[in-house]
Structure 1
């Protein structure tokens, strides 16, 4: 995967740009810190509960969370949380999450040299959540309203990195580094950022290296993902049909733009599960997406998840726009475009300037978008 040096260099140019941006944005951290002298510091796990209860301006700094417990940050309304130093977690074989943040009108800001270390290297065993040792399922679990999370550095997630439920939230300058997990192919199910039951979400200006979905969206509406750059993942993804309750499968009005994804299994990726309830994925846009050396399918829309070759029509995919999607696939079995829709469940797909090179095999399409010849 990393032998594609030219592609990797191209991606690193992007990454350097993001890192420089994140470093300059750390001025926001310093500005927040200097607004008041009344910050309450927690320099050990034992101090956190009291500080969070008493204060709305909080700094957590450089400590380890004991094994088998969650770092609970139930923030008061209008709180500002600053993160300094390394926050790490003792190793225990449990479900997690390692860190839980909730609140309303909150700001969470990372300092220039901070790190949230999930210690995934102590758990990875070549298996995901369904086998092997029990792993904490999430490093950071968020349930919040009207807030922002900026310049957050996360390393070595045992499984999922960031799980989001909320409304009116911005995530900017996330740097998720799971590259150690490529050694021996040990890390699995390390989805980077995903959200569900959410509305009005912005994810931007972020750099992600992981081994599963880079961004995954479920049962949500009104979101923009922009200037996010991924390496080694499974895709810029949507998942639906996972719930038997119909209203919990709808996804509406989501845009990916100005993103890149490289060295990954898939690039653009929508999965629906035929065994689930009914639902609709609608008004979806991918614009200006650079796909670099994808090993399986650059663009994949399949309605046969876990029932290979037997697509269902319980989830409709309507109003799907692809505009200026370009890049390469590599490998003997790689294809540019794969579409497997259920009977009558795909409609109003409009594609423009979709250009994927390097495929040894022809596209596979049982539905044909406007503007693209499969």
Structure 2
């Protein structure tokens, strides 16, 4: 094994003031690497298991993960992981995930020239998860309690890119590039970042180019998505009603702010599934959102997903849906600025201000009218 470390004890100088909670000093890649030379290096997939079990300060450096294998990082508490070079995943028609990270109070930091490459171009067939070849469903999967994930570059996700479950997590500086998926319409279901069953999540300062939801929030609370810029996606999304059980459908206190989305199917998208259990979507705010050249709906809040046929259900109540300074344009003869389709009595207390979507050749379609917006 090519593992470089002097002392597993000395690496503890990296972490300052760690307590039983999530208190630690957030660090950048170069600063972290320069603090000491006592990192454990994994320069091949075969070395990863040993390094993760024995070290808290780790470098993953430029290797390929074998087909049908998950790069499993079951990190020790307070671990710091640096990523160098290209981590590539050999092709296999299986469900994945390609990379799975677990731990408590952890930090995962990408280096200047690193890349996590899912090789989606070798899977895409225009069918996504609806057919065709079996594709790994997640590239970068996280289940953690407390942590930061910084400056991560991901390219060509076969399907979903980043999947999150946990509490007290920050994702900053993600660059997700699925631009190749636009060629001949081959990339499908390439969701950018999504989280479920989570609390206290921040996603910020990121760029996502993909062919499905840019960011999707499911069954979660207390989250902020800010300064995230999307292209070609299906929306800045809230989803509810995916679960048949009532307790797994609630979404509470979610804010999207200072974000942009362009060249997409939908700009702002809130969708509830009539076939699901009961639940609530409460205290959702979209603030300072720029929408450009959306081809279907600038804003769509629907309780008739996925059919969009107007037969909306009331299994999910949507309260306190706030849109503030949402501006931009739709493009195409069939595009509509705003569509609202609520079930009977299931929408209330919506407050909108400075919402203006131009370019539509058709009138807005609304069966519920927010305060402050003429729909």
> TM class by shorter-chain length?
over 0.9
1:177 is displaced (CA, Å) by 0.2
Q: Which residue of 2 aligns with 1:319?
A: 320
How far does the alpha carbon of each residue in 1:294-315 deviate from its partner, in whole angstroms, 9 at most, with x for none?
Answer: 0000000000113432110000
2:278 aligned with 1:278: yes
With normalisation by structure 1, the TM-score equals 0.92
Q: Which runs of 4+ in 1 moved over 6 A?
A: none
Paired position in structure 2 for 1:343: 344
Give the structure 2 partner of residue 371 of structure 1: 372
Partner of 2:10: none
Q: Could you tell me which residue of structure 2 aligns to residue 357 of structure 1?
A: 358
Tell me the SS of whatever aligns to 1:372. coil
Aligned pairs (5 A) from 1:1-374:
28-307=28-307, 308-374=309-375
Q: Say which SS state the counterpart of residue 305 (structure 1) adopts.
A: coil
In structure 1, runs of 5+ residues without a counterpart are 1-26
Q: CA–CA distance in 1 between the matches of 2:195 and 2:362?
A: 34
Question: Residues 148-205 of structure 1, C-alpha deviation per residue, up to 9 Å, x if partnerless?
Answer: 0000000000000000001000000000000000000000000000000000000000
CA drift at 1:343: 0.2
- Report SS of the residue matched to 1:53: helix
Partner Cα distance (1:55, 1:242) in 2: 39
TM superposition shift of 1:64: 0.3
Distance (whole Å) between structure 2 residues aligned to residue 36 and residue 244 of structure 1: 51
Point out where structure 2 has 5 or more consecutive residues left out of the alignment: 1-26
Give the distance between the partners of 1:138 and 1:370, measured in 2 at CA.
39
State the TM-score, normalizing by the size of structure 2.
0.92
Rounded to whole Å, the distance in 2 between the matches of 1:208 and 1:255 is 18
What do the CA deviations read for 1:231-272 (whole angstroms, capped 9, x no partner)?
A: 000000011001011110000000000000000000000010
Equivalent position SS for 1:33:
helix
Q: What is the rounded CA distance, in whole Å, between the counterparts of 1:330 and 1:306 in structure 2?
A: 22
Number of residues paired by the alignment?
Answer: 349
Distance 1:58 1:204 in 2: 24
Secondary structure at the aligned position of 2:134 is classed as coil
| 1:5 corresponding residue in structure 2 | none
For the residue of structure 1 that corresponds to 2:180, the secondary structure is helix
Q: Please report how far the alpha carbon of residue 224 of structure 1 lies from its aligned counterpart in structure 2 after TM superposition.
A: 0.2
C-alpha displacement of 1:34: 1.5
Root-mean-square deviation (CA, aligned residues, Å) is 1.0
Q: What is the alpha-carbon distance in structure 2 between the residues aligned to residue 157 and residue 130 of structure 1?
A: 16
* CA–CA separation in structure 2 for the residues paired with 1:179 and 1:90: 20
User: Cα offset for 1:36?
Assistant: 2.2
Shift of 1:128: 1.2
- CA distance in structure 1 between the partners assigned to 2:342 and 2:236 by the alignment: 19
Aligned partners of 2:181, 2:263: CA distance in 1, in Å?
14
Using the alignment, how far apart are the partners of 2:134 and 2:346 within structure 1? 38
